A and B are shown apart, each in its own frame.
Chain A
Amino acid sequence: MNLPPRIRKALVLSPPLIWVVLFMFVPYTILFVFSFWVQQYPTFAPAFQMGNYVELFRDPQYLQTLGRTIKIAALVSVFSLLLAYPYAYFLVFKVRRPGIRLALYMAVVAPLWVSYLLRAYTWKTILGTTGILNSFLISTGILTEPSPVFLYNQVAMVLTLTYVFIPFMVMPIYAALEKIPPSLLEASADLGMGRTASFVRITFPLSLTGVVAGFTMTFCLAFGDFIAAYLVGGPDGMMISNVIATQFGASLNWPLGSALALVMLMIVLTIISASDRFERLGQGKFA
């Protein structure tokens, strides 16, 4: 075919462009427009007013849920970091055989190939009253009858979401640590630093981009999660996404749901752009 370059470029670019416009731009625009509409039971009417946003800040249940969601997402990120960093560090600096290193790395990443629903559901079977944890505690005599305290609360949420999203913390940290040239640590030792000091001054600062990337991913993923809340969260573990889902479903208040969704989007975008800015600060330093 002998098409002018302009048309050829357009042909190549159009499928992704159409995709983005149709499934990202249009829905967000609809969401944005809806967030200013008013509810007129059983449907809603076009309008331009800030009532939905005012409602979000007036009724404490929304801010409370938002706060709880941020808390749970933050805890998930922190626990993921506390578990993932030592693990990635161990893999990169302590495991000498490449085969074993790969196997241990895959052990963390492989669960991503299993359906998310299945992985979250697993925790229900572990923490439930007839679950593995209760059976174990009863068989060892610690409990006399099954306890319901493990399931349907925020602890179960943090536990499940940490399990589900930890690969997204391990991967970037592993990548960042692996990129550190061994000679830097040798140079640090050569210049008189002990192991701990070398870690604080060299290894950790140079792995910070990975930490930030991992933190951003786990936080945003946990922040937007709503399935875990259905499975293991209960009313105590209700997330902001569950509230939004309710507005679009049972409550039939799309305008309020849209306003909530946009607030949530703003929070996530703020975090991502802050993380992006941090990464750009560190750019060029590995040249």
Chain B
Amino acid sequence: MMSDIIRLDRLSKHFGSVIGVDDVSLNVRKGEFLTLLGPSGCGKSTLLRMIGGFEDPTAGRVWLDGEDVTDLSPNRRAVNMLFQDYALFPHMTVGRNVGYGLKVAGVPRREVEAKVRDVLDLVGLGDKINAAPHELSGGQRQRVALARAIVRRPKVLLLDEPLSALDANLREAMQVELRHLHQKVGLTFIMVTHDQTEALTMSDRVVVMRNGQIVQDGAPQSLYDMPANPYIADFIGTTNLFSSRLVDGRVACHGQPLRVNPTKIRQGADTFGFRPEKARLHRGDAQADNLLRGTVCEVLYHGSIARIIVDLTGGTVLVDLPISDASAGLPAIGELVAVEIEPHKIMSFVAEAAA
């Protein structure tokens, strides 16, 4: 396909007897913002480093824009990397850091200067061209690293946990900024992160990895609404999971029956779940369809919502109560409540598929 800028063909990487990446095939479209998401040790960074040329695959090929680059060293690949620790050269000014890659390319001096200025303006650091890296804040350093990585207009920009070193406020601001930058420069971004919020907010497409393999690949919304297995359901967002079997259009959640929509249930499903924000909390002895009755065992106030842990005697479930709905105040611990879930909001999984 012409629009695929990256094609990974059955890529594997073994470290001795440890399998880092296990037979992964993946296509990345031109201009896409793709995120590799997974817990540490799932192989996402190794996969990224194989695209960059920093690790040699044990098996498989890496194709970049129709060219097999598997055997090319990093300096011969038209991709650039934003390193987790930024990897700014401490003995060079900001300007020389950013211009570093252009000198190799044999760009004339005046053009280098113009390009460096342009890209520094783009990341909002035009006035820092002569500053030394150690004079900058963490956020500024990251922008310099970003400028340095995009100034060569690589075919693909690789981002290795780009926001992990920043504090929470800055991280959120940088999420938006990276997203804007992606739209502005029109490059293909491949990002690695273990932070699901980051993955969902920033990417066009999220690839979830586990144990060196891809477990699900899709748009953020489809990942959230239709997780492929209980693992993803709980890794991305929060899900109340329970094992049960489907009998007469009903399942048992910690001993209490719940009606489901049989047409939406996967064949052979043995695990079910629902998201805390998809359920409704009723106070007292409410009468409604599809209720789980229990008592409040904990109230976690989050500002816009309160997350209520409800004890169903056979287990607990989480329910989000929007603060705007809690006009009568938050429920007290020990209060009798009922949790309502509409049948079509119950997800189903075949647990074996997660192994």
Contact = CB atoms under 8 A, between A and B. Distances in A.
B254 to A, nearest CB: 48
Contacts of B79: 190
B30 to A, nearest CB: 21
Nearest to A285: B90
B81 interface: yes
Give the contact-size bracket for chain B: 20 to 34
A186 B101 CA distance: 12
Given A183-B83, A183-B85, A287-B134, A189 B74 contact: yes
Interface string B77-116: 0011101110101110000000011001100000000000
Most buried by A among B52, B91, B105: B91
Contact of A194 (B75, B83, B89, B148): B75
B99 to A, nearest CB: 10
Most buried by B among A191, A201, A206: A191
Contacts of B91: 205-206, 282, 285
B54 A186 contact: yes
A37 to B, nearest CB: 50
Contacts of B74: 186, 189-190
A197 interface: yes
A154 to B, nearest CB: 37
B132 interface: yes
A193 B104 contact: yes
Contacts of A285: 90-91, 132-134
Contacts of A193: 75, 100, 104
A202 interface: yes
Contact of B81 (A181, A184, A190, A286): A190
Given A197-B104, A284-B134, A285-B134, A189 B87 contact: no
Nearest to A287: B134
A142 B166 CA distance: 69
A189 B100 contact: no
A98 interface: no
Contact of B87 (A186, A194, A205, A284): A186
A287 to B, nearest CB: 4
Contacts of A186: 54, 74, 81, 83, 87
B222 interface: no
Given A189-B74, A205-B91, A181 B85 contact: yes
B75 A192 contact: yes
B104 A192 contact: yes
Given A206-B91, A286-B90, A187 B83 contact: yes
A131 B87 CA distance: 53
A281 to B, nearest CB: 10
A85 B132 CA distance: 27
Interface residues of A, number: 22
B152 interface: yes
B165 to A, nearest CB: 12
A188 interface: yes
Contacts of A206: 90-91
B75 A189 contact: yes
Nearest to B54: A186
B73 interface: yes
A26 B53 CA distance: 63
B283 to A, nearest CB: 55
A214 to B, nearest CB: 18
A188 B83 contact: no
Given A184-B87, A287-B134, A189 B73 contact: yes
Contacts of B81: 186-187, 190
Interface in B38-91: 52-54, 73-75, 79-81, 83-85, 87, 89-91
Contacts of B85: 181, 183
A184 B134 CA distance: 15
A184 B73 CA distance: 16
Contact of A191 (B84, B90, B134, B152): B152
A191 B83 contact: no
19 contacts: A183-B84, A184-B87, A186-B54, A187-B81, A187-B83, A187-B89, A187-B148, A190-B52, A190-B149, A191-B100, A191-B104, A192-B101, A193-B100, A197-B104, A201-B100, A202-B89, A206-B90, A287-B90, A287-B134
Ranked nearest first, the 10 interchain pairs of A and B with the lowest CB-CB distance are A191-B101, A192-B104, A187-B87, A183-B87, A285-B90, A189-B74, A287-B134, A189-B75, A192-B75, A183-B83
Interface of B: 52-54, 73-75, 79-81, 83-85, 87, 89-91, 100-101, 104-105, 132-134, 148-149, 152
